[in-house]
């Protein structure tokens, strides 16, 4: 069961939403799943393939978390971002451009 805002997480007992969020996004595959789903719904197995054949165990654990946090939901079209999830993913989108310039500077 994923920790929700208001609950104590690793490194913060205050339950501040940003701390809960940073903790949740810091788990393996969390960011990647949001990223992949931002381009549309996906079945479990499709999502698994998009994530480089991540094991179903790991994928399912992260999906459980993200569903608890109401960022992802299982719909008739497969796994999809919720309204909150889309909102969050929209803020992560620009990271792609940033990452490219960062990579170029790293040479």
Partner DNA sequence: TGAGTTTGCTACGTTTTCCGTAGCATGGAG
Partner DNA sequence: CTCCATGCTACGGAAAACGTAGCAAACTCA
Site residues (vs its own copies, CB under 8 A):
4-6, 10-13, 16-23, 25-32, 35, 51-54, 69-70, 84, 87-88, 91, 94-96, 98-100, 102-103, 105-106
Cα–Cα distance between 23 and 3 in angstroms, integer?
Answer: 9
57 binds, among its own copies, DNA, none (CB under 5 to 8 A by kind): DNA
Whole-angstrom CA distances from 82 to 12, 31, 100, 101 are: 26, 15, 28, 30
Nearest in space to 69 (alpha carbons), one of 11, 10, 23, 13? 23
Q: Which residues pair with 81 in a beta bridge?
A: 72
Q: Which is nearer to its own copies, 4 or 76 (CB)?
A: 4
Q: Cβ-count burial of 81 within 10 angstroms (0-12 exposed, 13-18 middle, 19+ buried)? A: buried
Residues numbered 18-77 forming contacts with DNA, rule: CB under 7 A: 27-29, 43-46, 53-58, 60-61, 63, 74
Contact indicator for 81, 71 with CB cutoff of 8 Å: yes
Residue 60, binding choice from DNA, its own copies, none, Cβ under 5 to 8 Å by partner class: DNA
* 14 interacts with DNA by CB under 7 A: no
**Residues in contact with DNA by the rule CB under 7 A:** 10, 27-29, 43-46, 53-58, 60-61, 63, 74, 78-79
């Amino acid at each position: 069961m994923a920790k929700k805002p208001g609950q104590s997480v690793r490194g913060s007992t205050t339950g501040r939403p940003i701390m809960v969020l940073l903790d949740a996004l810091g788990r393996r595959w969390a960011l990647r799943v949001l990223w992949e789903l931002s381009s549309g719904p996906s079945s479990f197995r499709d999502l698994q393939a998009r994530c480089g054949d991540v094991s179903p165990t790991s994928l399912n654990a992260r999906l459980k978390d993200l569903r608890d946090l109401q960022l992802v939901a299982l719909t008739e079209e497969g796994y999809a971002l919720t309204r909150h999830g889309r909102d969050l993913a929209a803020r992560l989108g620009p990271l792609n451009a940033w990452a490219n310039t960062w990579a170029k500077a790293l040479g």
